[in-house]
Amino acid sequence: MTMIDHEVAARLPEIRGPLSAAVVDTLAGGSRDDFDLEAAEAADPFGEDLQLALHICYELHYQGFAEVDAGWEWDPRLLGFRAAMERVFLDGIRAAVPGGDDVEGLLDALLVEPVDGEGVSHFLHDKGEWWHVEEFFVHRSIYHLKEADPHLWVIPRLRGRAKAALVAVEFDEFGGGRADRAHSQLFADLLAAAGLSPGYLAYLDQVPACTLATVNVMSLFGLHRSLRGALVGHFAHTEITTGPSARRMDEALQRLGGAAECRLFYTEHIEADAVHEQVLRHDVVEDLLDREPELAADVALGIQATELLENRLTEHLKQAWSAGETSLLRPLHPLP
C-alpha cells in the first residue's frame, strides 16, 4: 500500500477571539503579543476562543506549525498564558463532573451498553447519510491523525506493570512497528478514500470548540505529571468504549457503501480494543492504584472528563444533524 503523507506541518488557523489572536499574532510575528491573563481567566472554559488558543499552544509540543520557530514551545510567557487558560479549562471540567474516587464503579458503568443508544455511532448506524459521515470524519481527524500521541506522555510517569502494559497497548496503536498499520495512518487512508484531505490539521478552521476540547483534554492531562492519573482514566475510557462504537461505524459504512479503507480503520479497532480494554483495566489502572492509591480521584476525573466532553460533542452533532444543518463551522459541501 502506498502511504499517504499526512504529517506536513499545518499553517496557523484563523483566530476566534482575543485569546487566539494573541497566540497567533505572537507565533506569526515572531515577537510576543500582550498576553491578557485577566481575559484568559474570565473566558468561557469551553468556548471557541479559549479552546482554539489552547490547541495552538499544545500543538507546539506535537508537529508544530509551518514557518513557526520551534523555540516557541518553551517560551516562558507563552507557557504562562497557556497555564492561565488551562486553569480555566480544568476548573470548568471539575465543576461539571460529579467527582469522587469510585474508579471500579465508573469502569463497570462503561461496560454497560444502553438498549436504546443515543450516541453518534448509533445515529450514523441507524439513519446517517454520507454527508453526516464525512462531517464526523472531519471532526475526528483532529485527534486521529495524531492518534495515541497524547497518551505517550504518561509512560515515563508510570512504573512496573502499569508502564509495561500501557507500552504494549501503545505499540498496537502505532501499528506494531509497521508504519502503514499505525492508526493515524489508517485514518489518513480513510480520509483519502472518502475524498477528504488527509492533511494534518487540514480541517482545524472548520471544527468547533466542542471538538477541540476532546483533544485538548488529552494534552492537558498528558503534559502535567500531576494529572497522570487523569490521563490513565482517559485512556481507559477510550479503550473500553471504542470497540462497540467501531462495530456500529463499520456497519454504517457497509450500509452506505463506504470504501474498504474507511471500514478498515474501524474493524482494526473492533479487534484491538477488545483486548486493550482488559489490559487498561487490569494491568494499567489496577497496578497504578495499587502503587499510588491516592490517584483514584484523578483516574475518576479522567473518566468523567472524557464522558463529559464526548457527550458535549455528541449533543452538538445530533442537534445540528437533526435540524438538517452542518455540524462544522463551515460546511464541506452545499447541504442536501
3-state SS, residue 325: coil
DSSP state, residue 295: G
Asked if residue 12 is part of any domain, the answer here is no
Residue 222 lies in a domain: yes
Residues 232 and 311 in one domain: yes
* Mean pLDDT (whole number) for 290-304: 98
Closest-CA residue to 230 (of 97, 47, 69): 97
Do 162 and 107 share a structural domain?
yes
Provide the residue range defining the domain that includes 45: 18-96
Answer yes or no: do 34 and 174 share one domain: no
Give mean pLDDT, residues 318-325: 96
The pLDDT of residue 312 is above 70: yes
Structural domain contains residue 59: yes
pLDDT > 50? residue 4: no
Domain boundary among 45, 72, 96: 96
177-201 residue pLDDT tens: 999 999 999 999 999 999 999 999 9
Position with higher pLDDT, 13 vs 243? 13
Shared domain check, 242 and 123: yes
35 domain residue, yes or no:
yes
Give tens-digit pLDDT for 65-122: 999 999 999 999 999 999 999 999 999 999 999 999 999 999 999 988 765 678 999 9
Report the pLDDT value the prediction gives residue 117, as an integer from 0 to 100: 73
pLDDT at 273 over 70: no
- The reply to whether 76 and 188 lie within a common domain is no
Spatial neighbors of 290 by CB under 8 A, at least 6 apart, are: none
Please indicate, yes or no, whether residues 146 and 120 belong to a single structural domain of this protein: yes
**Three-class DSSP category at 65:** strand
CA distance 140 to 206: 12
Quick one: pLDDT band at residue 327, thresholds 50, 70, 90?
Answer: very high
Q: For the chain, what percent of residues have pLDDT higher than 70?
A: 96
Give the pLDDT band of residue 277 (cuts 50, 70, 90). confident
> Which pLDDT tens digit goes with each residue over 128-170?
999 999 999 999 999 999 999 999 999 999 999 999 999 999 9
Rounded-to-integer distance, Cα 269 and Cα 238, Å: 11
Residues for the chain: how many in total?
336
Query: Which letter does DSSP use for residue 257 in this model?
Result: T
Residue 327 within a domain: no
Q: Report residue 295 as a C-alpha cell.
A: 490517584
Which of the listed residues 75, 96, 117 is the one where a domain comes to its end?
96
Residue 32's pLDDT is what? 74
Query: Angle 185-189-195 (CA atoms, 0-180°, nearest 5)?
Result: 145
The CA dihedral of 62, 9, 35, 45, to the nearest 10 degrees, is -60
pLDDT, tens digit, 9 for 90 and up, residues 198-257: 999 999 999 999 999 999 999 999 999 999 999 999 999 999 888 889 999 999 999 999
pLDDT band at 288 (very low <50, low <70, confident <90, very high): very high
Give me the mean pLDDT over the 282-286 stretch.
95
- Among 37, 64, 96, the domain-final residue is 96
107 and 68 fall within a common domain: no
As a 3-state breakdown, the chain gives helix, strand, coil percent values, each rounded to 5, of 70, 0, 30
Round to whole Å and give the CA distance between 336 and 325.
10
pTM (predicted TM-score): 0.95
- CATH number reported for the structural domain that contains residue 180 in this entry: 1.20.910.10
Same domain, 232 and 315: yes
The total domain count for the chain is 2
Predicted confidence band of residue 275 (pLDDT cuts 50, 70, 90) = confident
257: burial class by Cβ within 10 Å (0-12, 13-18, 19+)? exposed
Residues 90 and 112 in one domain: no
DSSP 180-194: GGSHHHHHHHHHHHT
Mean pLDDT, rounded, of the chain:
94
Residue 1 maps to a domain: no
CB 241 within 8 A of CB 281: no
| Domain-embedded: residue 5 | no
Verify that 208 and 257 share a domain, yes or no: yes
Q: Is residue 2 part of a domain?
A: no
Looking at the structure, tell me whether residues 76 and 116 fall in a common domain. no
Q: Same structural domain for residues 40 and 148?
A: no
Instruction: Output the pLDDT for position 2.
Output: 42
Instruction: Give, in degrees to the nearest 5, the angle at Cα 93 between 90 and 94.
Output: 85
